[in-house]
Amino acid sequence: MSRESLRWLNQNTLIGFTAKRGSAWHYRASEQGDEPNHYSGPIPVDDVKRRLFAWTPIEGTVETSYLTDDGVTRITDPTRKTIIRPDTGTVLGVFSQKFRVHEYKRWLLENLETILDDELFIGSAGLLKNGAVAWVQVEVPESCTTPEGITFRPFLSAATSLDGSLASTYQTGAQVIRCDNTLSASLAEGSAKRIKVKHSRNSLHRIAEVRDALGIIHRVADDFAEEVKRLCQVNVSGAQWNSFLDVQVPIPRERGRKRTLAETKRAGLNRLWNHDDRVTPWKGTAFGVIQAVNTFAHHEQVVRGAVRAERNMLRMVTGGVDELDLSTLQTLERVLDRSVLRKVA
């Protein structure tokens, strides 16, 4: 990771409840700005507004110029507009006039403030892609521990974008403390508890619907604990684990780069399964399989086109975590008798 990337993460993300979960892996004291970005307890709403969302995006025109025999010609496209971050002068996106800006303070903070109380607080917030993407995450103050030994923090995240890459998205999840992973909160259902609002002309009419639905975080802890229990009761033998790998990471017959990458990934998953304490306590279970694949994706898989922390955060806010865990479970079902999972459920 470049120094510039480290500086961005240390100055444009806020991490709360570090007394419960420890410091973020990207924390560097030397890269902090005027204020530390870690909080031992919850992050104050005013700090999120002041440190991250003090600016308001503005709309600009789309203009261009080109050289002809008669000189320079300038034109403006009245059907298009730009979205600009005024404090840096960065153009975050170019859109049709139908695009509706979901301003961060309103769509992230004001919506979430309606559910903040003595039991729910802001646990993290940040800007990505030079401010084109933002999120705020709400958590309960105390971590939860299941009888199977999984300590986790249920959360509800709100995220949106100014570059069109992400609809305003509200969804639940669970952060596993031992490995700093984000897991889907609804593995058995095969679908996340998620609400998406596109940047369309009618999007403002859905704000009330979003606020009414945010109460789902109170059910996340029970749902996730039930999923852990269910998956820990499904046995996965050594032979079934190898069969899972054959489907999950097939090794090409021909030698070359693809085969090398597959062999490296398979070796990494085997090492986590057999020797890494982020996975070994649940080795031999369906939950152990989920944990191995999720841990590899979060901390070891090759990242291209982004830094690992940004990729992990984007996966969390866009629903990629749910897709990853669901895909793993579907592959495992192809190896095991499907009725086994249904009987436990």
Q: Comparing C-alpha atoms, which of 45, 54, 70 is closest to residue 120?
A: 45
Backbone angles phi, psi at 125, to 5 degrees: -160, 155
Q: What is the pLDDT along the chain (345 residues), one digit of tens a residue?
A: 444 477 887 889 999 998 887 777 666 777 777 888 999 999 999 999 999 999 999 999 999 998 888 888 899 999 999 999 999 999 999 999 999 898 999 888 887 777 676 678 899 999 988 999 999 988 888 888 888 888 888 888 888 999 998 888 887 777 776 555 666 655 544 434 566 666 655 554 555 555 555 556 667 788 888 888 989 999 999 999 999 999 999 998 888 888 998 999 999 999 999 999 989 999 999 999 999 998 888 777 766 656 666 666 666 666 666 778 888 888 998 898 754 554 444
What pLDDT was estimated at residue 1? 42
d(CA 311, CA 117): 31
* Residue type at 194 in one-letter notation: R
Structure tokens belonging to residue 295: 């841990």
What pLDDT was estimated at residue 166? 84
d(CA 287, CA 282): 7
What pLDDT was estimated at residue 30? 72
What pLDDT was estimated at residue 16? 92
Q: What pTM was estimated for this model as a whole?
A: 0.76
Structure tokens belonging to residue 299: 């901390």
What pLDDT was estimated at residue 105? 92
79: Cα separation from own chain's centroid:
33
d(CA 16, CA 121): 9
The DSSP element (H or E) to which 127 belongs, if any, is strand 121-128
Structure tokens belonging to residue 120: 């729910």
d(CA 158, CA 168): 7
Structure tokens belonging to residue 163: 């570059």
